[in-house]
Amino acid sequence: MGIEIRNYQDETDFERVTQLWLACGPGVQLSRSDDHAELRKKAEFAPDLFLVAEEQGSIVGTVIGGYDGRRGLVYHLAVVSRLRSRGIGSALMLELETRLRDRGCLKCYLLVTKDNPGGLSFYRNQGWDVMDIHLLGKELQ
């Protein structure tokens, strides 16, 4: 496959990762939590849970993981559209799940938007289960 999975590097990767997310279509919804300052905080807090897939110097995929000591969460899995179905997303998820497991994470969650049936299918094929829950959110600032 020729893909290297590595930790996100803020100063060299921010623009390329943001461009990837913007080009991915439905599923990756950016918010103020995705600006440069917020992503820098994430990368400093848990650098081993913010991953990029690189091929020949180009970022072709990314995933962000979170872990609060009890549960894990997955954010922004994205792969360049022309390279999908080559195992890049699966490799990113496998690496993230391994790193979460190594931290002691027993259970993990992720969100899939209703306009992203391809993403839902991908995750179900990766062994993730759909949960019958209500999702609530609140802006704190």
Question: Does a structural domain hold residue 140?
Answer: no
pLDDT, position 19: 94
Question: Does a structural domain hold residue 141?
Answer: no
pLDDT, position 139: 87
CATH number for position 94: 3.40.630.30
pLDDT, position 26: 75
Domain around 86: 4-125
Going through the chain in order, the beta strands assigned E by DSSP cover: 4-7, 50-55, 58-67, 72-79, 108-110
Q: How many domains does the chain have?
A: 1
What burial class does residue 86 get, using C-beta atoms within 10 Å of its C-beta: 0-12 exposed, 13-18 middle, 19+ buried? middle
The rounded average pLDDT for each run of 10 residues, N- to C-terminus, in the chain (141 residues) is 90 93 84 89 93 95 96 94 91 97 95 90 94 89 82
Residue 86: both structure tokens together: 């080559």
pLDDT, position 33: 85
Question: Does a structural domain hold residue 14?
Answer: yes
Question: Does a structural domain hold residue 11?
Answer: yes
Q: What is the phi-psi region of residue 131: left when phi exceeds 0, alpha when psi lies from -120 to 50, beta otherwise?
A: beta
Question: Does a structural domain hold residue 72?
Answer: yes
Q: In sequence order, what are the beta bridge partners of 74? A: 65, 110
The answer to whether the beta carbons of residues 86 and 29 sit under 8 Å apart is no
Question: Does a structural domain hold residue 88?
Answer: yes
Contacts of 85 (CB under 8 A, 6+ apart): none
pLDDT, position 1: 58
